[in-house]
Amino acid sequence: MTTDANVPAAAPTLRQKIARFAHALWNADDKTLRWVLGVLIVILAVFNFARDINNPNRAFWDESYYLTSTQRYEEGKAQYASHPPLGFMFMDAGVKVGYMLGVNTDVNTHALGDLKKIDSRVVPKAYNFTPVRMPSALFAVLSALLFYLMILRLNGEPFEAFVFSLLFVFENAYIVHFRAAHLDSYQFTFTLGSILVWLHTFGKEPKRPLLMYGLFGLLCGLSFMVKVNSLVMLALGALSLIRAVWIDRSRHNWLRQIGNGAAIAGAFVAVVVTVFTLHVVFNPNLPDSTTKAGQRDLRAMGQTYKDYLADKRGLSPAVVWDATAGYYKYMKYDFTGEVKTEPNGSQPALWPFMAKAISYRWDFDGKRTAYTHMVGNPVDWGLGIVGIVGACVLVLRRRFDKEAAQVSQDYDRLEALLAMYMIFWTFHIYLGIHRVMYIYHYFIGLSLSFFLVALSFKIAARQIPLIEKHRFIILCAISVAIAGSYLFYAPLTYHHYLTRKQCEWRNIPVTLIVCQPSRKKPAPLPTPAVVAKSL
C-alpha cells in the first residue's frame, strides 16, 4: 500500500490543539511557565474586573460623593474632600479620555459639582459611567499582576503562584468594589507595589538600597495620597530597618540604615508635596460661593490660597502650604464629625469573618431583582483565616519548640507578614473606636492574609510529606473551590437579575443578603377619617 506524499495532512481538531498546548505547557521550562501563567492571570483579571462597567448605570455607595469631586475637577474648581486628591485625579483622567472618545459629550453634568453628595436619581439618565469607573478597573488588573508577582516571589513556584493569585482574581468583594468609581483600587495597587518592593529589602541588603527604600517610600506615599489609612504600611519598612540593625549593630550599619530610613521618609514627603502641588495647579478657579459645595470648601480655605485663586498672587510654596493646611483642616473636621455607628458599619475585630456584607444597590423589574452586593468569596475568606491561624502556629512552633526551630528566609518573611497583619488589624480596631468602619477597609489586611496562606502552604508542604505528595491535587482542588464559589456569588457582584428563590439559595448556609422584594406586606394606607383626626 502506498500513500501520496502530495496529499495534505488533516488539520488538527480543536481537542488536539488543546492537548498539544497543555502538553507543551506542562513540559515548559520554568521561565516560560511563569510568563504564560502570568499572562493568564492578567486575562482573567481583565474579564472579571473590566467588563460591563456601566452596569449598574446608576451611582452607588461612595460614587455619590466621588462623581461630584470629579465634576469639579473637570471644571478646574478648587475643592477639598474627605480623602486626599490623587484618586480623584485618576477619575478625572478617565472622564477626559471618555470625552476624547465621544462618551458623555452630549450630557450636561454641571449640576453634579454643586453638592458634596448627590442622589443617584440626579445623575442624568444618559450618563455613561464607564469613563469614571474604568481607571479603577484597570488598576485592579495591574493589582492582579502585582499579586501574582508577590506570590511568585514568596513561593518560587509558578503553578502555586497562579493558584494563590486566584484568591485575588476571583474575590467577589474586590471585583464589585474595584470596578466602581471608588478609591480603594488605586490605594490597593500602590500598597501591593510597596509590599513587592519591601520583599527585595527584607532579609538582604539590595544592590541599590537607597533606590529601593526610596521606591518603597514613594509607593507608600502614593497609597497614602489616595486614602490616609494606608499610612500604617510604613511599618513594613520599619520592620526591615529594625531587623537589619538587630543583625548587625555596628556603627557603620546604623548609619547605613538611618540613610535608608531617610530615603523612605524623603520619597514619601516628596510624593505628598508633588500631589498637593498638582492639585493646586489643576484647579485654579475659585469655588462657586452660590453652591453648597463651594460654600463648604471656602470655609476651610486660607486667605493665601484664596488670593492665588483670585489671581492676586502667583503659585509659590506658601500657596501650596496654605492649600494643604486647608485640605487637612477639611479632612480633620470630616473625620471628627463622622458617625461612629450606622447600619452598614462593621466591627474591625470581626472583619476576618466577613462582617458584614453591604448591599450597595438593588433594582426590581417586577419579577426579578438585580443586586450590587459587596459580599466576599467565602472560600477566599475561609482560606484567609486558615492562613492567619497557620502562620500563628508555625511562628509559635519556631519560637518555643527548640527542636523544631527553623532558621530560613521563609520563616522570617512569615513572621514579618504576620506582624504587619496584626499591626494593620490593631490599627483599624483603634480607628473603629472613633469612627464608623466598613468591611472594605479590610481589603489590604485581607490580601496580607492571602500571602500568609501561600507562604504557610509552602512551609507546610516542605515539612509534611503527605502534603508534598499530593500538592498538585490539593492546589487543583483549591482552584476549583475558589472559582466555583466566585461563580455562585457572581450574580450579586455583577448586578444580574435573580428570582427571590435564586437569591435565597445564596443564603445557604449563612445569610449574606436580604433578598428583595421584602416578604413583609406594606402597611395599609390610612383612611380619610384617620387622616382628619390626626390633623
pLDDT tens column, 269-324: 999 999 999 999 999 999 988 999 889 989 989 999 999 999 999 899 999 999 99
- Confidence tier at 478 by pLDDT (50, 70, 90): very high
Residues 6 or more apart whose CB falls under 8 angstroms from that of 98 comprise: 104, 128, 130, 131, 132, 134
What would the grid cell of residue 419 be? Answer: 506582624
Q: Are 531 and 404 in contact (CB under 8 A)?
A: no
Does residue 82 fall inside a structural domain?
Answer: no
Residue 69 lies in a domain: no
In degrees, to the nearest 5, what angle opens at C-alpha 149 toward C-alphas 148 and 153?
Answer: 120
What is the grid cell recorded at 205? 541588603
pLDDT of residue 25: 58
Q: Which three cell numbers stand for residue 343?
A: 447600619
Highest mean pLDDT among 193-207, 492-506, 517-531: 492-506
What is the pLDDT at residue 325? 92
Q: How many whole angstroms separate alpha carbon 78 and alpha carbon 308?
A: 11
Q: Give residue 5's pLDDT.
A: 54
Written as nine digits, the cell of 297 is 470648601
Residues 6+ apart with CB under 8 A from 140: 45, 49, 50, 174, 175, 178, 179, 185, 188, 189
Cell digits of residue 151: 506570590
- Name beta bridge partners: 369: 364, 498
Distance separating alpha carbons of residues 169 and 190, to the nearest angstrom: 17
Does residue 223 surpass a pLDDT of 70? yes
Task: Please give the Cα distance from 195 to 216 (Å, whole number).
Answer: 8
372, part of any domain = yes
**How many helices (H) does the chain have, and how many strands (E)?**
21, 3
CA nearest neighbour of 155 among 454, 476, 463: 454
Q: How many other CB atoms are there within 10 angstroms of residue 108's CB atom? A: 10
CA pair distance 344, 513, nearest whole angstrom: 12
Domain that holds residue 379: 134-276+343-503
For residue 429, report the phi and psi dihedrals to the nearest 5 degrees: -65, -40
Whether residue 135 contacts residue 90, with contact meaning beta carbons closer than 8 Å, is answered with: yes
Element (H, E) at 359: strand 358-364
Percent over 90 (pLDDT), the chain: 47
Average pLDDT, the chain: 86
Closest CA to 163 of 472, 479, 387: 479
More confident residue, 84 or 463: 84
CB atoms near residue 23 (< 10 Å): 10
| HSE (side-chain half, CA atoms, 13 Å) at 132 | 28
Mean pLDDT of the 491-504 span: 91
pLDDT of residue 17: 64
For residue 19, pLDDT beyond 70: no
427 lies in some domain? yes
Q: What is the C-alpha separation between 496 and 493, in angstroms, rounded? A: 8
Helix, coil or strand: residue 257: helix
Summarize the confidence of residues 509-525 as an average pLDDT.
Answer: 69
**Omega of the bond prior to 356 within 30 degrees of 0, cis?**
yes
Strand-pair partners of 77 = 285
Task: Give domain status of residue 18, yes or no.
Answer: no
Whether the CB-CB separation of 164 and 150 falls below 8 Å is answered with no
H/E element, 193: helix 184-201
For residue 386, the model assigns a pLDDT of 95
The verdict on residue 71 lying in a domain is no
* Host H or E run for residue 307: helix 303-309
pTM of the entire predicted model: 0.87
- Give the sign of the dihedral formed by CA 488, CA 492, CA 493, CA 494: positive
Please tell me the predicted confidence (pLDDT) of residue 341. 63
Counting the structural domains of the chain, the total is 1
- The residues pairing with 370 across neighbouring beta strands, listed in sequence order, are 363, 497
491 lies in a domain? yes
**Side chain identity, residue 99:** Y
- Residue 203 inside a domain? The answer is yes
Averaged pLDDT, 409-429: 89
161: left (phi over 0), alpha (psi -120 to 50) or beta: alpha
Question: 528: which 3 cell numbers?
Answer: 380619610
pLDDT over 60 (residue 495) = yes
